Amino acid sequence: GENVEQHPSTLSVQEGDSAVIKCTYSDSASNYFPWYKQELGKGPQLIIDIRSNVGEKKDQRIAVTLNKTAKHFSLHITETQPEDSAVYFCAASSMYNNNDMRFGAGTRLTVKP
Protein backbone atom coordinates (compact mmCIF):
# COMPACT_ATOMS: atom_id res chain seq x y z
CA GLY A 1 0.00 0.00 0.00
CA GLU A 2 0.86 3.66 -0.13
CA ASN A 3 3.34 5.15 2.33
CA VAL A 4 3.67 8.91 2.74
CA GLU A 5 6.57 10.54 4.54
CA GLN A 6 6.56 14.19 5.49
CA HIS A 7 9.37 16.52 6.54
CA PRO A 8 10.09 18.44 8.64
CA SER A 9 7.95 17.58 11.64
CA THR A 10 8.30 21.12 12.98
CA LEU A 11 9.14 24.35 11.19
CA SER A 12 9.59 27.82 12.62
CA VAL A 13 9.90 30.90 10.39
CA GLN A 14 9.80 34.66 10.79
CA GLU A 15 6.77 36.49 9.53
CA GLY A 16 7.25 37.36 5.88
CA ASP A 17 9.63 34.48 5.18
CA SER A 18 8.77 31.45 3.07
CA ALA A 19 8.00 27.97 4.37
CA VAL A 20 8.49 24.72 2.50
CA ILE A 21 7.14 21.30 3.53
CA LYS A 22 8.11 18.19 1.62
CA CYS A 23 6.44 14.81 1.18
CA THR A 24 7.37 11.61 -0.58
CA TYR A 25 5.08 8.78 -1.59
CA SER A 26 5.68 5.19 -2.60
CA ASP A 27 2.80 4.10 -4.83
CA SER A 28 3.28 5.08 -8.47
CA ALA A 29 -0.51 4.64 -8.95
CA SER A 30 -1.21 7.64 -6.70
CA ASN A 31 -2.54 10.54 -8.69
CA TYR A 32 -4.17 12.94 -6.19
CA PHE A 33 -2.17 14.91 -3.63
CA PRO A 34 -4.09 17.19 -1.26
CA TRP A 35 -2.69 19.39 1.48
CA TYR A 36 -4.68 20.03 4.64
CA LYS A 37 -4.29 22.68 7.34
CA GLN A 38 -5.35 21.82 10.86
CA GLU A 39 -5.76 24.48 13.51
CA LEU A 40 -5.72 23.59 17.17
CA GLY A 41 -8.76 21.56 18.23
CA LYS A 42 -10.28 21.53 14.76
CA GLY A 43 -10.57 19.17 11.84
CA PRO A 44 -8.23 19.46 8.83
CA GLN A 45 -9.28 21.72 5.97
CA LEU A 46 -8.15 21.40 2.39
CA ILE A 47 -5.96 24.32 1.32
CA ILE A 48 -4.69 23.15 -2.04
CA ASP A 49 -4.48 19.96 -4.07
CA ILE A 50 -2.72 18.77 -7.19
CA ARG A 51 -3.32 15.94 -9.60
CA SER A 52 -0.66 13.98 -11.39
CA ASN A 53 -1.31 15.56 -14.78
CA VAL A 54 0.23 18.88 -13.66
CA GLY A 55 3.56 19.78 -12.10
CA GLU A 56 2.64 22.92 -10.20
CA LYS A 57 -0.41 24.72 -8.89
CA LYS A 58 -0.63 28.10 -7.21
CA ASP A 59 -3.29 29.84 -5.18
CA GLN A 60 -2.25 33.29 -3.93
CA ARG A 61 0.53 32.71 -1.35
CA ILE A 62 0.32 28.92 -1.51
CA ALA A 63 1.80 26.68 -4.18
CA VAL A 64 2.31 22.96 -4.57
CA THR A 65 4.81 21.25 -6.83
CA LEU A 66 4.82 17.62 -7.90
CA ASN A 67 7.66 15.51 -9.24
CA LYS A 68 6.14 12.23 -10.38
CA THR A 69 9.45 10.70 -11.36
CA ALA A 70 10.95 11.22 -7.94
CA LYS A 71 7.59 10.65 -6.20
CA HIS A 72 7.70 13.77 -4.13
CA PHE A 73 5.57 16.86 -3.75
CA SER A 74 6.02 20.04 -1.78
CA LEU A 75 3.97 22.83 -0.25
CA HIS A 76 5.32 26.36 -0.52
CA ILE A 77 3.92 29.23 1.53
CA THR A 78 5.28 32.69 0.73
CA GLU A 79 5.04 35.88 2.79
CA THR A 80 4.03 33.89 5.85
CA GLN A 81 1.71 35.43 8.41
CA PRO A 82 1.05 34.46 12.07
CA GLU A 83 -2.34 33.02 11.04
CA ASP A 84 -0.50 30.48 8.89
CA SER A 85 0.63 28.82 12.13
CA ALA A 86 -0.98 25.37 12.20
CA VAL A 87 -0.28 21.70 11.50
CA TYR A 88 -0.09 20.86 7.81
CA PHE A 89 -0.72 17.37 6.42
CA CYS A 90 0.06 16.03 3.00
CA ALA A 91 -1.78 13.04 1.57
CA ALA A 92 -1.74 10.80 -1.47
CA SER A 93 -4.45 8.66 -2.96
CA SER A 94 -4.69 6.17 -5.77
CA MET A 95 -6.69 6.72 -8.92
CA TYR A 96 -8.28 3.37 -8.20
CA ASN A 97 -9.53 3.92 -4.71
CA ASN A 98 -10.14 7.15 -2.82
CA ASN A 99 -10.38 5.11 0.36
CA ASP A 100 -6.70 4.39 0.00
CA MET A 101 -5.75 7.97 0.91
CA ARG A 102 -2.68 8.01 3.14
CA PHE A 103 -1.55 10.94 5.23
CA GLY A 104 1.86 12.17 6.24
CA ALA A 105 2.64 12.58 9.93
CA GLY A 106 2.17 16.35 9.81
CA THR A 107 4.31 19.47 10.09
CA ARG A 108 3.76 21.98 12.87
CA LEU A 109 4.44 25.40 11.36
CA THR A 110 5.03 28.36 13.66
CA VAL A 111 5.23 31.83 12.19
CA LYS A 112 6.87 34.28 14.59
CA PRO A 113 5.67 37.89 14.39
Partner 1 sequence: DGGITQSPKYLFRKEGQNVTLSCEQNLNHDAMYWYRQDPGQGLRLIYYSQIVNDFQKGDIAEGYSVSREKKESFPLTVTSAQKNPTAFYLCASSIGAASTEAFFGQGTRLTVV
Q: Point out which residues bind partner 1 (CB under 8 A).
A: 4, 6, 9, 31-32, 34, 36, 41-46, 49, 51, 89, 93-99, 101-106
Closest approach of partner 1 to the CB of residue 79, in Å: 25
Closer to partner 1 by CB, 60 or 99: give it. Answer: 99
Closest approach of partner 1 to the CB of residue 43, in Å: 3
Closest approach of partner 1 to the CB of residue 59, in Å: 14
Bridge partners (DSSP) listed for residue 10: 108
3-class DSSP string for the chain: CCCEEEECCEEEEECCCCEEEEEEECCCCEEEEEEEEECCCCCCEEEEEEECCCCEEEECCEEEEEECCCCEEEEEECCCCHHHCEEEEEEEEECCEEEEEEECCCEEEEEEC
Closest approach of partner 1 to the CB of residue 113, in Å: 26
Closer to partner 1 by CB, 16 or 105: give it. Answer: 105
Closer to partner 1 by CB, 59 or 95: give it. Answer: 95
Closer to partner 1 by CB, 66 or 106: give it. Answer: 106
CA dihedral in degrees (28, 66, 45, 4; nearest 10)? 40
